[in-house]
Chain A
Amino acid sequence: MTATETTTLAARLVTRPRRPTSARRVRARRALVGYAFIAPAVVLFLVLGLYTIAYSFGLSFAKWNGFSPTWEWVGLDNYRDILFADPRLAPEMRNAAVNTGIAMVAVSCGTVLIALPLASLLNGITRLRGTLRSIFFLPYVTAGVAVYYAWRYVLEPDGAVNLALRALGLGSLARPQGFLADPATALPTLIVIMIWGSVPVAMLLYLAGLQAIDPAVLEAAALDGAGSVRRLRHITWPLLVPITVAVVLLGLRDTMQGFQIFLIMTNGGPAGHTDVLGLKAYQQAFFQSLSPTLGVASALGWLIFVAALLLAVVNARLLRGQR
């Protein structure tokens, strides 16, 4: 650039400065474009997120059947009825809460007890590890409505499980009424199926955790004379505790909020032996012959949410304690 050109440019800048209004306009345009991009996501969140949350919270203080023009406000009655006030509803909810609690603990513990040894075994082999990992992951890929129906056929009185038990000379373990119609086996059977569905992810998490452990640490311990049990107890297990906490809490949360398996396989039966809170909420909403029970369903949903929130707090504290 020559001196003349520089002078001319400088003179132009001095004589024709960019007007601040024009700069603002450009910035506003750019902002507008940005807002237009995020608008769909924001609107979707407002409609599907905040709106439904606020709607559901309001509904939990009302009686409504889903189509009447007005809600009848009942204050805290829905919460009170669920917890203690309604002599018909409250005992059912308590029964469902107990079943939910049993399932939450059993599924979480069972998942850890199966997934950890499975991951350890997979970590200890090199041949066929990928193939076996895929096989063990299959239940997670296939779990769903169709698989639950398949399980029902397998568990019927003349289903594959009873046939196999009888063929193996274990007829005393067979259930003549089938595993889902027998009050003694219905809930345990559903728990086993839920564990079957949750082991794959837990196993993968454990496998990732095991592969992250520095082999030199284990080697040093072995050189110091630590056997496999001591190595597992004093080195591997402490390093896997954060993963275990995550697996347990995921199991607790999924079991507390999920109810598809209970709806499809037993619908809470026989005689309420597999009723859980999520299922009760669904039944209150959609199986009451259009009675105004959506408020009760919503209140129950919020009580489950509070329980889930408490779990999340416990989760955060446990994970913080591990750091």
Chain B
Amino acid sequence: MIGNRRILAAVAAAALALTATACGDDDGGAEAGGALTMWTFKRTHVDALQQAAAAFKAKTGIDVRIEAFTPDDVFTAKIQSAAQTKDLPDVLELHSGGEDMRVGGGGLLTDLKGDFDGKLDRFLPSTRESGRVTQQRKDSIEELSSATVGSLYSVPFTAGTFGIVYANKQKLEAAGLDPAKPPATWEEFLTYLKATTTADKTAGGLSLGLKVTQTGFNWIYEQLAFAYLGQQKFEALFGKGTTAGFGSPDGLRTLDLYAQLKPYWMPGASALGIDEADIAFAQGKSAFNVGGTFTLAFLAQNGMKPENVLTFPIPPATGGAVSDLRLAPLALTGLSVTSTTTNKDAATQWVDFLTSAEGAGIFAKASLDLPATDLGTQAETLIGTDLAALQQFFTGPAENTYDAANRGFRPPDYDEVEMGNPLLKLAPLGEADAAATGKTLDTVIKAMWDAK
């Protein structure tokens, strides 16, 4: 009897030991010379990355395994737990200019300066330094306190901008509008919206994922305010101790312009996530949808043919400082090599290939997402006409160009999420007027400047 108990106890202890060891490495980085692993937070990138990986293997013989973890909270938790268990992959695709800095500052990323400093001219000019530790970033991002200025924690991978309006050509036509002619001004845009909502009361409005409240601020308001006020006055809205903030006459005028959208939002827009709003547009539940250059890929994946879509930047209001708004591309995501990789050379080679004209072309064509790699005159050939057409909004005089990557004039502890809720209460919820909204936004900005 005792003997049986001993056997059972031994089995139990062995099971425990096996359970403990089972928590070890299962999907992490490569053994030296083995296959590479790459993690991304974008499901829409997986197929395209796999296609690029196949081309890479044909060239080098190196296998790359792509894994996606979505949504963002899952990706965050995955990185946190993998960092604890030393089980990170070899390559990560991260949000540029913030996430990569924090992860790099936490010691999880390799400094790519030596490998890529000489190759940064392959990228669009406004994206080249997106992964660089600058003094300004070091001062504002806590994790960078012990980082070396000049380190390169990521190289740009995808680029683009927000504030692109997508219009359903069939709905424009049904409303008696010219499906080939985008509205030139904010006022004309409102007449378009009025026409489509009159023609189709329930499915003629504007969709945007306002459940992620900052989208209204980042993707419509900022572009509108920049065009109306011009760069200097726009930046003054966010100033420290400013008297020209959101509650100033200029600020109030921009808020009033934004509030004019109130009658035209798609029903239930404030309960929709970004993907849900895009899907609603692709399904014909709205006539207009606001997104970024990256939205085209998602619309296509959800059955919307790119040729059925008219695209244009947020139109500037009449009488404003800018009449022909341009949108500077910024690096949206970057590629990083982890500090725990056992195969840094192969990982760097993979990043190099993905950001080369060949790799970026394969990726962009398959994903319909714009690469940060400057494809120059080959763009249309490599990425197709629909995607290349979006690039037309990137070029123009500096004074007409809204640059979302320009953060220097904002508080160091700027949090866009906190700007979203007051604007949502202005429109579409209608719980506050422009004056109350301006006052709230000024209070939020002041609190950010005063933050420790």
Interface assignment of B2: CB less than 8 Å from any CB of chain A: yes
Question: What is the CB-to-nearest-CB distance from A269 to chain B, in angstroms, rounded to a whole number?
Answer: 5
User: Which residues on the B side are within 8 Å of A86 (C-beta)?
Assistant: 451
A39 to B10, CA, bound (A): 11
Q: Are B16 and A39 in contact (CB under 8 A)?
A: yes
Q: Are B9 and A33 in contact (CB under 8 A)?
A: yes
Of the candidates A39, A65, A177, A282, which one forms a contact with B102 in the assembled complex, judged by CB atoms under 8 Å apart? A65
Q: Are A65 and B106 in contact (CB under 8 A)?
A: yes
A87 to B418, CA, bound (A): 12
Contact mask for chain B residues 94-118; partner A; CB cutoff 8 A; 1 contact, 0 none: 0100110011011110000000000
Interface assignment of B236: CB less than 8 Å from any CB of chain A: no
User: Which residues on the B side are within 8 Å of A30 (C-beta)?
Assistant: 2
Contact mask for chain A residues 278-322; partner B; CB cutoff 8 A; 1 contact, 0 none: 000010001101111000000000000000000000000000000
Q: Are B429 and A37 in contact (CB under 8 A)?
A: no
Which chain A residue shows the least CB distance to B101? Answer: A290
Question: What is the CB-to-nearest-CB distance from A90 to chain B, in angstroms, rounded to a whole number?
Answer: 10
The total of Cβ contacts below 8 Å across the A-B interface reads 129
Q: Are A40 and B15 in contact (CB under 8 A)?
A: yes
Q: Are A271 and B271 in contact (CB under 8 A)?
A: no
Q: Are A289 and B95 in contact (CB under 8 A)?
A: yes
Interface assignment of A88: CB less than 8 Å from any CB of chain B: yes
Q: Are B143 and A178 in contact (CB under 8 A)?
A: no
User: Which residues on the A side are within 8 Å of B424 (C-beta)?
Assistant: 269-271
User: Which residues on the A side are within 8 Å of B301 (C-beta)?
Assistant: none
Q: Which of B96-149 contact A (CB under 8 A)?
A: 98-99, 102-103, 105-108, 142-143
User: Which residues on the A side are within 8 Å of B150 (C-beta)?
Assistant: none
Task: Say which one of A2-10, A66-74, A250-258 lies at the interface with B.
Answer: A66-74
Of the candidates A67, A152, A157, A286, which one forms a contact with B83 in the assembled complex, judged by CB atoms under 8 Å apart? A67
Of the candidates B73, B102, B418, which one forms a contact with A291 in the assembled complex, judged by CB atoms under 8 Å apart? B102
Given known A-B contacts A33-B5, A87-B447, A271 and B431 have beta carbons under 8 A apart: yes
User: Which residues on the B side are within 8 Å of A291 (C-beta)?
Assistant: 102
**Total interface residues on A, using CB and 8 Å?**
43
Q: Are A178 and B271 in contact (CB under 8 A)?
A: yes
Given known A-B contacts A36-B13, A271-B213, A289-B99, A67 and B267 have beta carbons under 8 A apart: no
Which chain B residue shows the least CB distance to A29? Answer: B2
Interface assignment of A219: CB less than 8 Å from any CB of chain B: no
Task: Say which one of B74-82, B379-387, B394-402 lies at the interface with A.
Answer: B74-82
Q: Are A36 and B10 in contact (CB under 8 A)?
A: yes
Q: Which of A34-85 contact B (CB under 8 A)?
A: 36-37, 39-40, 43, 63, 65-69, 72
A63 to B102, CA, bound (A): 13
Interface assignment of A117: CB less than 8 Å from any CB of chain B: no
Q: Are A65 and B143 in contact (CB under 8 A)?
A: yes
Instruction: For chain B, give the interface size range.
Output: 35 or more
User: Which residues on the B side are within 8 Å of A238 (C-beta)?
Assistant: none
Contact mask for chain A residues 152-185; partner B; CB cutoff 8 A; 1 contact, 0 none: 1000111000000000000000001110110100
A282 to B76, CA, bound (A): 12
Q: Are B271 and A270 in contact (CB under 8 A)?
A: yes
Question: What is the CB-to-nearest-CB distance from A256 to chain B, in angstroms, rounded to a whole number?
Answer: 21
User: Which residues on the B side are within 8 Å of A33 (C-beta)?
Assistant: 2, 5-6, 9
A69 to B339, CA, bound (A): 13
Given known A-B contacts A43-B16, A88-B447, A36 and B271 have beta carbons under 8 A apart: no
Interface assignment of B32: CB less than 8 Å from any CB of chain A: no
Given known A-B contacts A88-B418, A181-B271, A267-B211, A69 and B143 have beta carbons under 8 A apart: no
User: Which residues on the A side are within 8 Å of B107 (C-beta)?
Assistant: 68-69
A178 to B79, CA, bound (A): 36
A72 to B5, CA, bound (A): 49
Interface assignment of B321: CB less than 8 Å from any CB of chain A: no
Of the candidates A266, A269, A287, which one forms a contact with B73 in the assembled complex, judged by CB atoms under 8 Å apart? A287
13 extra A-B contacts, CB within 8 A, seeds A63-B142, A181-B270, A269-B270: A39-B13, A66-B76, A66-B79, A67-B79, A67-B84, A68-B106, A88-B448, A181-B269, A270-B210, A270-B211, A286-B76, A287-B76, A290-B102
Closest 10 CB pairs of A and B: A66-B80, A36-B9, A67-B83, A157-B267, A181-B271, A286-B73, A178-B268, A270-B270, A68-B106, A181-B268
Give B residues with C-beta under 8 Å from A.
2, 5-6, 8-10, 12-13, 15-16, 72-73, 76-77, 79-80, 83-84, 95, 98-99, 102-103, 105-108, 142-143, 202, 210-211, 213, 267-273, 415, 418, 421, 424-425, 428-429, 431, 444, 447-448, 450-451
Q: Please, could you name 28 A-B residue pairs with CB atoms under 8 Å apart, sorted by A? A: A29-B2, A33-B9, A39-B12, A40-B15, A43-B16, A65-B143, A66-B79, A66-B84, A86-B451, A87-B450, A88-B418, A177-B268, A177-B270, A177-B271, A181-B271, A266-B211, A267-B211, A269-B211, A269-B271, A269-B424, A270-B210, A270-B211, A270-B271, A271-B425, A290-B79, A290-B102, A290-B103, A292-B143
